[in-house]
Amino acid sequence: MRSVVSGDVEHPTDASSQRLRPTSPDTITAEVIARLDACEDERLATIMRSLVTFLHGFVREVELTEGEWHDAIRMLTATGQITDERRQEWILWSDALGVSMLVDAIGHPFPEAATESTVLGPFYVPNAPERPYGAHLDEVPAGDPAWIHGRVLSLDGTPIAGAEVDVWQNGDNELYATQDPEAPETHLRGRFTTREDGSFGFIAVRPTAYPIPDDGPVGQMLRATGRHPWRPAHIHVIVRAPGHRSVATHIFDRDSDYVDSDVVFAVKQSLLREFVERSADDPDRPQGIQGDWWSLRSDFVLVRSDDTGELVDPGRTA
């Protein structure tokens, strides 16, 4: 390209300089979108055009100031800095802004009678120990014993033998094993296999509500916008069975605080269950439980599919 120098500044003189249009909010958006004509990946071009359109529309709508833009850059930088192989602050943003649940809702349109999915969350660790029917999930004391039982069924009501019920939960100190330096790695985690009649049963502890990690940028956003960081009490479950679509879901304690205001928007009406109070002399008390206990029944209904839809572990958040 030819250029002329006037003072210290080079001015391009070729035809491209003649084509530059005056910069205005509308021409900037149009220019950025036009640049995507070069993108050969059609899906990527669709996503990027839409992203630019909405992002520019947002900046225009709120009339973002330079100071606010700097704040946003600082927040994004802090998010990158706090994220490592144990903590995933980006996913926490997605969770706390409802994006994770939106992606889940679009990606998992289950029939009405099937068990609904919900967020996987950051505390899932694959390869939990295999445990037999009726075993404890807790390896050190972690709360009131709770007998969790039910059946895994296909959508037509057929019991599924040999299904895997992969479970993890927090203890009464509000922590998952991955967050708790005092706990064994396999504490409050286990994989159970359904019996011939599709049944499973294990001794968990009654979960407590707990706050998501809120010592980083997401916590700052929650406080600045008047939101709390709490999740209602729940037990995580992934159910897998050959010939069926896997489901990552929760059993929610319907009597827990925050059921109506889960910080990650993951509560679904169909996933609420009752913990029933039981006394030590209850004749149904399972072997392995001493004293008073709770029981909770939850069946899981899977959709037949050639594609089991294996889940991707998105990384931990604490």
Cβ atoms of 209 and 172 closer than 8 Å: no
Binding window for Fe ion (CB under 5 A); candidates: 5-13, 86-94, 119-127, 274-282: 119-127
Under the rule (CB under 6 A), what is the footprint of ligand BEZ?
A: 92, 95, 119, 121-123, 212, 231, 264, 317
Find which of Fe ion, ligand BEZ, none residue 143 binds, CB within 5 to 8 Å per kind.
none
Cα-Cα end-to-end distance for the chain: 53
Q: Residue 224 and residue 69: Cα distance in Å, rounded?
A: 17
282, β-bridge pairs: none
Cross-sheet strand order for the sheet of 234-240: 189-193, 164-168, 234-240, 247-253, 272-273
Binding window for Fe ion (CB under 5 A); candidates: 4-12, 13-21, 117-125, 271-279: 117-125
Site for Fe ion in 77-116 (CB under 5 A): none
Find which of Fe ion, ligand BEZ, none residue 93 binds, CB within 5 to 8 Å per kind.
none
Cβ atoms of 104 and 119 closer than 8 Å: yes
Find which of ligand BEZ, Fe ion, none residue 229 binds, CB within 5 to 8 Å per kind.
none
Binding window for Fe ion (CB under 5 A); candidates: 118-126, 186-194, 277-285, 289-297: 118-126
Neighbouring C-beta atoms of residue 204, cutoff 10 Å:
25
Give me the least distance between CB of 231 and ligand BEZ, in Å please: 5
Cβ burial of 40 (10 Å; 0-12, 13-18, 19+) is exposed
* CB-closest chain residue to ligand BEZ: 121
Find which of ligand BEZ, Fe ion, none residue 317 binds, CB within 5 to 8 Å per kind.
ligand BEZ
Residues that bind Fe ion (CB under 5 A): 121
